């Protein structure tokens, strides 16, 4: 069975609109009006992607995001965080807690479908089948399995963090501007601010432990990976 796109949202009109458009595109869709039902669901079923509303009647969306990221096998499931108008403050916080993308209501269903496709493309089988990148003798990136190993131990990155590491390691020593990194992450669907790159990189560095040393900030320019 095809893995479903899961919508966690308590406004029925929005759920219906999103469902119609995603199903029309060919996705299987499952929805929950609260966090509790969703958390029970993911005990047994792995979603392809989660569209997560921030304000839910029972459990806070950020709490759900955190729970998913701590989960052993669901840590890399892409999450699009959805917030009501004027909740801009939570954008950075959402990304801090591991969301891959963020959309503010009201958004067009077409934009949602585009973002979903972009995220799934990244998480799907990489074009560079079987390619493994090695960094500094301690870190390996498997571009097919989307797996990062630090001294043989697997570390869980979000798809955004993985994508950044993939880009930086594609040309070691080369400095990538924030703009370039955003382009790589989102292409034409780019609608995020510069600061988000810094948040993702900080998060990535934390997870890389002592290998974080390889990811360097070039003040005023961007980031690079250097062994
Ligand atoms: Ca809501």
In this structure, the answer to whether residues 79 and 163 fall within a common structural domain is no
- Pair (56, 152) in one structural domain: no
Domain boundary, last residue among 104, 123, 142: 123
Confidence of residue 2 (pLDDT cuts 50, 70, 90): confident
Same domain as 116, residue 37: yes
Same domain, 192 and 112: no
pLDDT at 59: 94
Total number of domains constituting the chain: 2
Say yes or no: 17 and 119 in one domain. yes
pTM: 0.62
Is 182 in the same domain as 100?
no
Asked if residue 147 and residue 62 are part of one domain, the reply reads no
Give distance in angstroms: CA of 33 to centre of ligand 1: 9
Neighbours of ion ligand 1 (CB under 5 A): 10, 53, 55
> What pLDDT is stored for residue 193 in this prediction?
61
The distance between the two most distant Cα atoms of the chain, rounded to a whole number of Å, is 52
Quick one: 165 and 218 in the same domain?
yes
User: How many Å lie between the centroid of ligand 1 and the Cα of residue 38?
Assistant: 14
**Whether 116 and 192 share a structural domain:** no
Under the banding of pLDDT at 50, 70 and 90, the label for residue 126 is: very low
> How much distance in Å is there from the Cα of 153 to the middle of ligand 1?
38
Two structure tokens written together for 172: 């070691």
Do 37 and 107 lie in one domain? The reply is yes
Question: How much distance in Å is there from the Cα of 139 to the middle of ligand 1?
Answer: 40
Q: What's the half-sphere exposure (Cβ side, CA atoms, 13 Å) at 198? A: 11
pLDDT higher than 80, residue 188: no
Q: What is the CATH number of the domain that holds 210?
A: 1.10.10.10
DSSP the chain: -PPPEEEE-S-HHHHHHHHHHHHHTT--EEEESSHHHHHHHTTT---SEEEEES--SSS-HHHHHHHHHHSTTTTTS-EEEEE-TT-THHHHHHHHTT-SEEEESS--HHHHHHHHHHHHHHHS--SSTT-EEEETTTEEEETTTTEEEETTEEE---HHHHHHHHHHHHTTTPPEEHHHHHHHHHGGG----THHHHHHHHHHHHHHGGGGGGEEEETTTEEEE--
Same domain, 142 and 183: yes
Question: What is the domain range of residue 219?
Answer: 132-225
């Amino acid at each position: 069975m095809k893995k479903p796109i899961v919508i966690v949202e308590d406004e029925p009109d929005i759920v219906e609109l999103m469902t119609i458009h995603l199903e029309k595109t060919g996705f299987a869709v499952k929805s929950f009006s609260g966090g509790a039902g969703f958390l029970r669901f993911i005990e047994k079923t792995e979603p392809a992607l989660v569209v997560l509303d921030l304000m839910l009647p029972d459990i806070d969306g950020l709490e759900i995001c955190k729970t998913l990221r701590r989960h052993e096998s669901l840590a890399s499931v892409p999450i699009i965080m959805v917030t009501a108008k004027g909740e801009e403050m939570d954008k950075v916080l959402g990304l801090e807690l591991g969301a891959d993308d963020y959309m503010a209501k009201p958004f067009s269903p077409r934009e949602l479908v585009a973002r979903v496709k972009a995220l799934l493309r990244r998480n799907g089988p990489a074009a560079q089948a079987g390619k493994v990148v090695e960094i500094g003798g301690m870190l390996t990136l498997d571009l097919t399995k989307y797996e990062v190993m630090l001294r043989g131990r697997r570390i869980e990155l979000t798809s955004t963090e993985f994508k950044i590491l993939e880009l930086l390691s594609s040309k070691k020593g080369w400095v990538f501007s924030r703009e370039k990194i955003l382009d790589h992450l989102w292409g034409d669907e780019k609608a995020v601010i510069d600061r988000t790159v810094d948040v993702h990189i900080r998060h990535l560095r934390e997870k890389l432990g002592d290998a974080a040393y390889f990811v360097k900030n070039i003040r005023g320019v961007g980031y690079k990976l250097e062994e």
